[in-house]
Structure formats: structure tokens, C-alpha cells
Amino acid sequence: MPFLDVADPGFSFTAPEVFAAQAAGWYADSPVGLIVLRHAEAQELLRDRRLDHGGDGYLVLNGITSGPVHDWWVPMMVNHDGAEHRRLRGLVGRAFTPRTVDALRPYIREKTEALADEMAATGRTEFVSAFADRLPLAVMCELLGVPAADYATFSVWTSDIGLIFGLAAGGDTAARVERAVAGLDSYVDTLIDEKAAHPADDLISAMVGAWRAEQTVTRAELRNLLVTLVFGAHDNTRHQFSNTMVSFAEHPEQWTLLRERPELAGQAVREAMRWRPSANTVLRRATVDLEFRGLPIAAGTFLTVAAQTAQRDPRAYPGGDRFDITAERAAPLLQFGGGPHYCLGSALAQAELGEALPILARRFAAPVISGEVTWRPAIGIHGPDELPLHLTAAPG
């Protein structure tokens, strides 16, 4: 089978050799196990009950057998199935009801306009720190009830904890994740006590109240849920914003089209997520010996869905080798997973981009990359760490 060195710092899931492997078959080998390259097989595997999220096996594969990262990862909601998963998801699911998401839309628009004012005053901006980091962080903190004074500290932790999915890249990745987990654990513990003593109209207060009244989860489980929630609501979305601006910088005519037809916003968001997703890979592990499409897969084997590659699979997306916000794509996105583990935060992420992008397109001409873009590793949560842009006022 083809071999893809996904741990190489320069690896890209859109390299010609990757699409050559996709044309040859649905999977490839790699240093982290099987890589799933085609959409149909990926969608089927994400819903296969014979696969799980890897449990501690993923950490062991990366040399972690104990410590703060192990103690956070193993009890995480995604590492549970059946009744245990439903019990945990039932509490955190209150964060992402349609009513909750819709109630945040005016705040998203207001914050976007304010951040756009700041970027308009400079013309040249580092988009990650000026916008992509700040908007999702502000929305998440508004939702949860995190004091604005804590945003800066919170931002570092919620960014670094997302590196958990890129441990194969090596370097200081594991150390950064460990510091982030320890910091967030301590901070969230303090928040739980504060919200218990002084409840307010925010999600953490509601979850703490439900925890105390219903006793369906332990305090440790509540803390784990909140830590997982805050990193999911911030890190994925900030990288999706930056990825989206890169895509529009490479396709300026699509940006102009969005300005002229703001009703395409929802479709533009889905196309941006298809073309360059922030969750570049989705991990699964075989829990039993199985056979899939004629391939024997031993229990314990890890399978990594290459979301970006599979979301350009011409078998699922005719014309999918083009970034086109007018195209109606029938095949579902893969980056949010599937089945009972479908990402709870997907609606909020799409709402943030859907409200923000038409405002940015109205305010600015197509973004122009004005310097070197530094990227996170291709495996895991992927996107620019730095994205220098030249932004000028929109014509007219």
C-alpha cells in the first residue's frame, strides 16, 4: 500500500502524492497507522460501532502513560460509548441548543464589527491574533461566563491544548499540552466554586446547578467536560477562521461574490470547511478484529480519517477540486465526526463564521497574504499560527 509520512513537518494532505494514493485506493499506511483517504469509506468508518476514539491507546502510542494529559484525556466524553456517553453528553449538550446558538448571533455581529474597526485602522494585520483568536474566544467566554479580564490567559491554554491531536509532530508539543491541561484544570475548578456560590445567567452556572441538583456526574467529570468544552469551542474555530481567510486570499473572486451575494454565507461556510477544515484528521481505533472492504484490521489498529483529502474526493464531490461557494455539495462534512459522537459545537462554529464572513466581505476587499504564513502540523487541528494579511476597504 502507499506510505504517507504524515509526521513530517512539511507534509500536506493536499500534496499530489496524497491524491495519487486516493486515486489508487481508499487507504494508505503511515507512521500513525492507516490513513483513510476516500469519503465513502471515511463516512462509514466514523459511524462503525466496532471503532472507538482510541482511549489511552492513542497516548501510549505517543509515549504518554501517566500525568495531567493522561488524566484529562482518558475520562473524556469522546472516550465513552453507550449509556456512559449519553450520560455525559446530556449535561454538556445544553451548551449548544439552537436557542442558545441563536441568542449569541447579535453578540457575534457586534464583536465582528468592533474587531473589523481595529483591523481597518491598521491596513496590515496578523489575522490570527487580531481576529481569528479573539472572536471565538470572546463568544466562548460570553457563553460560559468567563470574566473578560481572564481572556488573555485563557487564550494560551485553549490554543495549546488543541495540540493534543498533533502529538506525532514531536518537539515541545506534549509539554505545551500538559501545561495547558494543568492550567485549565485549576482555573475551571475555581470557576465551579465561584458559580456555585454566585450563579449567573451563563452556561457554567447552569451546568453547575444541574450537577448539584441532579448528581448525574461527579465534580471531576464536570471539570473534564468544561475543560474539553472550552478548548473545542475556541481552538477549532480560530483555525477555521484563519483557514477560511487563506482560501479566500487564494480565490479573491469568491470573496467578491460573497460581498455581492451575502445570502451565500451559509453555503460559503460549508465550502470553506470542506476545502480547508481545521480538524484535518479524525482518529478512530478498532476495538475488535474486523474486515472492512476486504482489508483485515486487527484490534488495536488506529485509523486516521484524512478529512481534507476525503472532502475533495471527486467520488463524493463532483468538481470538488475547486473552491466554489455557489456549489451545492450533497456529501456531508467529515471533520465533525459522525454518529453519536458528532461534534456538539458544530452549530456554534458555523454560526460564528456565518455571521462574521459577510461583515468582513462588506468591510474589506479580498484579503492579500502579505508575509510568511506559519502552520501547525498537518495531523490534528490544522491552521495558521500566524497569518499576515493586507486588508483594504471594500470598493464603494
What's the grid cell of residue 148?
Answer: 473578560
Q: What is the DSSP letter of 3?
A: B
Is residue 32 scored above 70 in pLDDT?
Answer: yes
Identify the pLDDT of residue 52: 87
Q: What share of the chain is helix, strand, coil (3-state, %, to 5)?
A: 60, 10, 30
Q: Which residues does residue 368 pair with via DSSP β-bridges, in sequence order?
A: 390
Give the helix/strand (H/E) hosting 117.
Answer: helix 98-122
Look at residue 249 in the predicted model and tell me its pLDDT: 98
Question: Nearest-CA neighbor of 139 among 114, 119, 162?
Answer: 114
Q: Return the CATH number of 16-390, one of 1.10.940.10, 3.40.50.980, 3.30.360.10, 1.10.630.10.
A: 1.10.630.10
pLDDT digits (tens, 9 = 90+) for 313-324: 999 999 999 999
Q: Grid cell 471533520 — which residue?
A: 335
Mean of pLDDT values over 10-19: 96
Sign of the Cα pseudo-torsion (66, 72, 73, 79, in order): positive
pLDDT band at 368 (very low <50, low <70, confident <90, very high): very high
Widest CA span of the chain, in angstroms? 62
* pTM score of the predicted model: 0.91
The pLDDT of residue 95: 66
All structural domains of the chain with their residue ranges? 16-390
Read off φ and ψ for residue 218, nearest 5 degrees: -85, 170
pLDDT digits (tens, 9 = 90+) for 226-265: 888 877 778 889 999 999 999 999 999 999 999 999 999 9
- For residue 63, what pLDDT band results from cuts at 50, 70 and 90? confident
HSE (CB half, 13 Å, CA atoms) of 138? 19
Local confidence band at 64 (pLDDT 50, 70, 90 cut-offs) = confident
C-alpha cell at 66: 501517566
Q: In terms of Cα–Cα distance, which of 237, 240, 235, 232 is closest to 275?
A: 240
pLDDT at 55: 78
**Nearest CA among 133, 136, 141 for reference residue 204:** 141
Is it the case that residue 38 has pLDDT exceeding 70?
A: yes
Bigger pLDDT: 57 vs 178: 178
- Average pLDDT rounded to a whole number, residues 270-295: 95
Q: In sequence order, which residues have a C-beta less than 8 Å from that of residue 178 and are 6 or more positions away?
A: 67, 68, 69
What is the structure's pLDDT at 48?
93
Residue 193 scores a pLDDT above 90: yes
pLDDT score of 2 more than 80? yes
How far is it, in rounded angstroms, from Cα 94 to Cα 211?
12
Within 8 A by CB and 6+ apart from 35, the residues are 4, 6, 27, 28, 29, 303, 304, 306
Picking from 4, 43, 44, 47, the residue whose alpha carbon sits closest to that of residue 24 is 4
Report the chain's terminal Cα–Cα distance, integer Å: 55
pLDDT tens for 68-121 read 888 888 888 888 878 888 888 887 776 678 888 899 999 999 999 999 999 999
Q: Burial of 144 by CB count in 10 Å (0-12 exposed, 13-18 middle, 19+ buried)?
A: buried
**What residues are paired with 126 via a beta bridge?**
388
Number of neighbouring beta carbons within 10 Å of residue 321: 13
Confidence of residue 305 (pLDDT cuts 50, 70, 90): very high
How does DSSP classify residue 15? Answer: S
Mean pLDDT of the chain: 91
